[in-house]
Structure 1
Amino acid sequence: MGLEVSSGFNTARQDHVNKILQIFRIDSDDEIWATDENSTTTGPEDEAGILKGNASMLGGWESLAYSKLELESDAANARMIVHLWKTYFCWQYGSHCVVYRPVFIRDMALGDYHQQMSGFMGGNKNGLSTPALALGADFMNRAKLLLAAEMDKPSNVPTIQGLLLLGQRECACGNLSQGWMYTGMAFRAMRDLGIHLDCNRLPIFGFGTMSAEDREVRRRLFWSAFTWDKIMSLALGRTPTSNAWQNASPGPIVDDTEDDSEWKPYFWDDAMPPELTHYPVQKSLMTSNFRHFIKLCEIIQKIIMRLYNGRVTRIRSHNFVDQMKHRLTEWMDQLPSGLKLNVNALPEHCPPPHIFSTKIYLPNAVPVRTAAPPSITASAAATCTRMAEELHQLFLLYSKTFKLRNMTYTLTWSMYSAATINAIDFQSTDPAVAAAASPRLSMSLHVLERGMLTDSWHPEGK
């Protein structure tokens, strides 16, 4: 009897291991990739159908939510909430997709929007445009009060979403310690809820059966935290906290309905600046862009953990750098045409900010080891200069189209990284190198100055 039980246990354990190996793929370099297309599916077809069917009702839910705001608030307050709402979804939402928009809008229309929206607005730095600027501190104080009340309750998804938004908001405002703290609280609460676990196996882990929408919310929340963690890790020089390789991740995002939605710039009171009057309406490609950004962030995590976290042998380091370069090249080749930005053939108008943000984040993934042989150091220096030149061209495009409005933390930090290279090149003893770096350095400082000014979120861009 004991042998039969032991045999059954070993068989069950092996089945569990096999399922985990089906979720992950282990390369010859012993790296586990949670986002490998060959090892993860895009989700059950019936689940995708349910999600897309519900998402198709988004327009109706938005109208209902607007009407409810007008009925339950005074006109001025309702107008401000709608403005902050639209500003977030236009300029900031696509970078990390903290909320699942169809469910969020539906709950706003059917539930008590006050608590949800206050925390939501408090994390929205891009909403700090005039006249919203005067109310920014008030909204932040309200969000903190609501957060304090939530801390006495069990972990829940809305609170985690609010913590991530607050973390992003504080970092964008220069309050890095507060941003780090809020983000860390979100990570702990996520693990408390098991959001890092495979959605298809949640009943096994004791979380019961969840609807297709609940699973999609968890998946997006996990990957949102995962990508934001890599931004903070690079910007603050700290080890990543949210990892996809420690456990079976909740799985890939299923609903891609937002890819077909239209994106166009939004400003206060729908007052479109003259230079954007003829801006072409574009497909948002929101989900597709986020999926590829997740893959890029996983590559960046591997680079940080292998090259910059502890000591590594030189030979293994060189091999790993070559492997990561191949991964990055492969990632670029797999980008759909709508997500590619070739600096040698830039479009007339800058693409939506979430697409632009993914492109400018790529140069930060280039693996460079400081204690490298002279030949590699020279090659790395040339690569850094080339990346700084590319960022210069990309920001010229963004400035031409959007006048450096509504810049997120990722944008300003990426330019800061380029500015360090431009400053080094500007001091070069080679006159040609120094001369080429001069306009780049000037542009870098201009972008950083605009990023520090609250006026950079003004609808007129003044």
Structure 2
Amino acid sequence: MVVSANGVSSYHGRTSTLFEEAIQERASGAELNHRMPDEWTEKGLVAEAAKQSQLEEFNYRAGTLDFDGVDPELGMHLLSLHWNRQHHSFCITYRPAFMRDMACAGPYFSKILLNAIYFGASKFSPRREVRRDHDDVRTAGWQFRERVRNLLGGALDRSEITTIQALLVMTNSLFALGDERSAAWLYAGLAFRMIIDLGMHVDAPDLGSPRKFSDEDVEIRRRVFWGAFVVDKIQSLYQGRPATLRESDTAVPIKFLDTYEELQNWQPFAYSMENKKYSGSPAYSVTTFTSLCHLSVVMSDILSCIYTERTFDQSAVELCATLENLNSKLVAWKKALPKHLDFDPIKSTQIPPPHVLSLHAMYHVLTILLHRPFVADGHLYNTSRSIPVNSFIICASAADSIAALLRAYDRAFSVRHAPYLISYATYVAATIHVRIAAKRSTDSEARENLETCLGVFRDNSKTNWAVRRANAIVESLIKRLGVNLTDPGGESSGVSRSQRRSSLAGPDGPRSQVAIGGSGSHSETVQHLRQHGHQGLTFSEDASPSTGWSDIDGIIQSFVRGQDSNVEDATTGRMGVVEDQQMQYRAPAAATTGGVIGFSGAEPSSSSADARHGMDGHPTTWVGLFPDGAVSGAATSFDDLLFGFNGSALDSSFV
């Protein structure tokens, strides 16, 4: 770290002329000699957090809190919504320091961060004065967004932690609007640049800075960095773009010592208040965030290994080895999950807070993201059938788990105000359920699960406008595959249909407003195959599903455009580009370039010829493009891309 004459500190690594190794080593040694045990640090941080919690109400009544001109009662209302919702999702904001410095103009409070919090909380507020159009929730917080814009101009000349926090809060809020994806991406990019500028990607005790960081400083820097790391991966996933922050460039432990909020009683007052019977739960904020950070590292590996432009350079053998390695990381993460965060939506009698449910939803989403490309590859299906069969079984199991989570979420909190991550998980699950439903009877569990997903889309679309694109894609896929639902998208599906099934109500209160799935051979099959498909991901040539899925071949082939008997000629597809992240098999002459997953049909060099052939020795050609990628002579069209289905290249198709 270098401190300039005006007191501004900035990070410079070993290649910079500003880097002085001697200073770095002296400062690092001094830090090591004076570092206190974590137990002492934790006690100090928890004590300070408890003290500041008591002072919040005192400072509010004393009128010392700076609400930036907003009515104090409204300002406190919006802050309370934030602390109850977004704060627990990513832990980007640090409440003790923010509320303390809000009363004394300290360094961890700024008006740009305050207004970013106002903006993010406004769409969850029932108060119409925060809306420009009282009847349109999408206009909620407009005045706070304008205030952020005005303040941002003067905040770009110098990196500040509060500016980083504000940009990250704005990123999450803007993306959910649906038509602000570029703004969300740019705000996040600015935040990441500032993080590097401040050296937050290196743990404070290891920076060798002449400035002494307090325990609170270190805690905040760690939380903000890892919050940004998670946001980076989620934005990369949503938008189908490369991630910015790489784990290999970081030296920040996933260790948070302020545990004050961990066991605080959490009540869902910022969510729907329709269910008055929810008894509350410990917040589990710190352990949930810690687990999310570890999961985001696995997500980073999946995105960088499976969803990159050069993945198509790998052979089938290499990709299958990658699949097994990444799957083992997901399994290890699940096994290491703290016991109090483990949740079975079927068996559990107590539903945890929404951020815990979101954590599980992300795990199942990543499971599908990892395995679905291997289901859709025609060449693998012909040469090593067990791989796509096993991957499909795992995808179906994960999709069923997501549907069960959605029902539990809706039963306790209502999906109307659920975060966008829940809707994205709904979309990912729906792409699996619709294909199974196309091969099953009208009263199958897959159809019930699909109706659950459609009900979530409808209920959540007002809060998260971006959900409408997901709904449009799934509705189009339903039509293409010839799935007949009771009243898709209408009043008899999802909400009202589930209300008629009152006998299937869950143990935690009133009936879900989303369709409840039934039971039958599909559930039994998934339960049986989950025991054999998730542990170790063993691929045996004689692996086959039980009789519950007699048409598993047809289901798998429906992932490859043009292979399903219900599918119209692929050349009539309205998008005109290859289905993203699905591996399409073609003859070498029809090969394209720029794949997310696939192989070039070009002749490989002699040194890598063997690696460029499939398991049977024949040339392989797997093609799957980013939505922004160019396609040469494409003969297929995508229906339900997962990685980047919010890409700007598709905007004209969803106007």
Matched, 1:385 2:396: yes
Identify which of 170, 177, 188 aligns with 1:183: 188
Q: How far has the Cα of 1:163 moved from its partner?
A: 0.3
Indicate conservation of the 8 Å contact 1:88/1:127, yes or no.
Answer: no
Task: Pick one of 141, 145, 150 that aligns with 1:140.
Answer: 145
**Which residue type is aligned with residue 155 of structure 1?**
S
Distance 2:68 2:44 in 1: 36
**Alignment correspondent of 1:121:** 118
1:102-251 equivalent positions in 2, closer than 5 A: 102-111=96-105, 114-124=111-121, 126-131=123-128, 132-134=130-132, 136-151=141-156, 153-174=157-178, 175-202=180-207, 204=208, 206=209, 208-249=211-252
SS in 2 for 1:431: coil
Whole-Å Cα distance in 1 between the matches of residues 114 and 398 of structure 2? 39
Matched, 1:347 2:349: yes
Q: Secondary structure at the match of 2:261?
A: helix
Using the alignment, how far apart are the partners of 2:67 and 2:302 within structure 1?
Answer: 49
Deviations 1:360-401 (A, max 9, x none): 111122222444722212222222222111111111111111
Deviation string 1:220-259 (CA, Å, 9 cap, x unpaired) is 0000011111211222222221222223226522222211
Q: Which amino acid aligns with 2:362?
A: Y
Q: 1:437 and 2:442 equivalent?
A: no
- Cα displacement (A) at 1:96: 0.7
Deviation at residue 263 of structure 1 after TM alignment: 0.6
**Residue 217 of structure 1: CA displacement?**
0.7
Segments of structure 1 that go 5 or more residues without pairing to the other structure are 1-11, 20-40
Equivalenced residue count is 412
Contact 1:128/1:136 (<8 A) preserved? no
1:196·1:250 contact (CA, 8 Å) conserved in 2?
no
CA spacing shift, 1:407–1:80, aligned 2, 3 Å: same
CA distance in 1, matches of 2:212, 2:456: 49
| Inter-CA distance 252–267: structure 2 relative to 1 (3 Å threshold) | closer
- 1:262-301 paired onto structure 2 within 5 Å: 262-267=265-270, 273-276=273-276, 278-301=277-300
Distance 2:364 2:65 in 1: 48
Q: CA deviation at 1:440?
A: 1.6
Distance 1:167 1:425, change over 3 A: same
| Offset at residue 293 of structure 1 (A) | 0.9
Give the counterpart letter for 2:358 in structure 1.
S
User: Residues of 2 paired with 1:220 and 1:407: CA distance?
Assistant: 23
Which residue of the other structure, out of 405, 414, 417, is the alignment partner of 1:403? 414
Letter in structure 1 aligned against 2:456: V
In 2, Cα distance between equivalents of 1:75 and 1:194: 34
In structure 2, relative to structure 1, the CA distance for the partners of 1:422 and 1:91 (3 Å cut) is same
User: Residue 58 of structure 1 aligns with which residue?
Assistant: 52
Counterpart mapping for 1:364-375 below 5 A: 364-366=365-367, 367-368=370-371, 369-370=373-374, 371=377, 373-374=380-381, 375=385
Structure 2 vs 1, CA of residues 128 and 250 (structure 1 numbering), >3 Å: closer, same or farther?
same
CA distance in 2, matches of 1:232, 1:99: 19
- Tell me if the contact between 1:303 and 1:324 (Cα under 8 Å) persists in the aligned partners: yes
Contact 1:43–1:254 (8 Å) recurs in 2: no
Q: Secondary structure at the match of 1:124?
A: helix
Cα 1:419–1:68 change in 2 (3 A) is: farther
Q: How far apart, CA to CA, are the structure 2 residues paired with 1:70 and 1:198?
A: 34
The structure in which a higher percent of residues are helix is: 1
Worse-superposed segment, 224-233 or 316-325 = 316-325
Alignment match, 1:327:
329
Q: What amino acid does structure 1 have at the position aligned with 2:275?
A: E
The equivalent of 2:8 in structure 1 is none
Query: Which of 38, 42, 46 is the aligned partner of 1:44?
Result: 38
CA shift in 2, pair 1:123/1:343, >3 Å: closer
The reply to whether residue 419 of structure 1 matches residue 430 of structure 2 is yes
Residues in 1 aligned to 2:37 and 2:148: alpha-carbon distance in whole angstroms: 35
Describe the superposition over 1:75-112 as per-residue Cα deviations: whole angstroms up to 9, x where unpaired: 98212111111111112211111112211121123227
For 1:331 and 1:42, the matched residues in 2 are separated by: 30
Tell me the distance in 2 between the aligned counterparts of 1:60 and 1:47.
20
Equivalent-residue separation in structure 2 for 1:164 and 1:441 (angstroms): 33
User: After the TM superposition, which parts of structure 1 deviate over 6 Å for at least 4 consecutive aligned residues?
Assistant: 70-76
Which letter does structure 2 place at the counterpart of 1:162?
Answer: A
* Equivalent position to 1:83, from 52, 77, 84: 77
Taking every aligned residue pair, what percent have the same amino acid on both sides?
A: 25
Retained in 1: the 8 A contact 2:233–2:243? yes
Q: Which structure would you say has the larger RCO, counting Cα contacts within 8 Å and 6 or more residues apart? A: 1
Post-superposition CA distance 1:13-58 (Å, at most 9, x none): 9x99xx9xxxxxxxxxxxxxxxxxxxxx997333323212211213
Distance (whole Å) between structure 2 residues aligned to residue 43 and residue 170 of structure 1? 40
Corresponding letter in the other structure for 1:324: L
Q: Match for residue 462 of structure 2?
A: 453
Residue 114 (structure 1) shift: 4.6
| CA–CA distance in structure 2, aligned partners of residues 67 and 155 of structure 1 | 33
Paired residues of 2:177 and 2:464 also in contact (CA < 8 A): no
SS at match of 1:57: helix
Q: Of the two, which has the highest radius of gyration?
A: 2
SS in 1 for 2:243: coil
Q: Distance in 2 between matches of 1:73 and 1:212?
A: 27
Distance verdict in 2 for CA 1:73–1:387, change over 3 Å: closer
CA–CA separation in structure 2 for the residues paired with 1:425 and 1:168: 33
Q: CA separation of 1:133/1:411 partners in 2, compared to 1, >3 Å: closer, same or farther? A: farther
Contact in 1 for aligned 2:226/2:254 (Cα 8 Å): no
Whole-angstrom distance in 1 between the partners of 2:160 and 2:414: 39
Equivalent residue letter for 1:254: L
TM-score norm. by structure 1 comes to 0.81
State which drifts further: 397-406 or 108-117: 108-117
Q: CA deviation at 1:113?
A: 6.4
Counterparts of 1:74 and 1:306, CA distance in 2: 46
Aligned to 2:526: none
1:307 and 2:306 correspond: yes
Q: Give 1:143 shift.
A: 1.5
Residues 220 and 42 of structure 1, relative CA distance in 2, 3 Å threshold? farther
Deviations 1:318-341 (A, max 9, x none): 223222222222221222222111
Unpaired segments ≥5 residues, structure 2 = 1-20, 29-34, 133-139, 466-512, 514-655
After TM superposition, give the deviation of residue 184 of structure 1 in Å: 0.9
Q: Which moved more, 1:84-93 or 1:431-440?
A: 431-440
Q: Which amino acid aligns with 2:192?
A: F
User: CA distance change for structure 1 residues 82 and 244 in 2, over 3 Å: closer, same or farther?
Assistant: same
**Are 1:357 and 2:391 counterparts?**
no
Residues 146, 440 of structure 1: alpha-carbon distance in 2 compared, 3 angstrom cutoff: same
- What SS does the aligned partner of 2:141 have? helix
> Structure 1 129/52 Cα, relative in aligned 2: closer, same or farther at 3 Å?
same
Alignment root-mean-square deviation, CA: 3.0
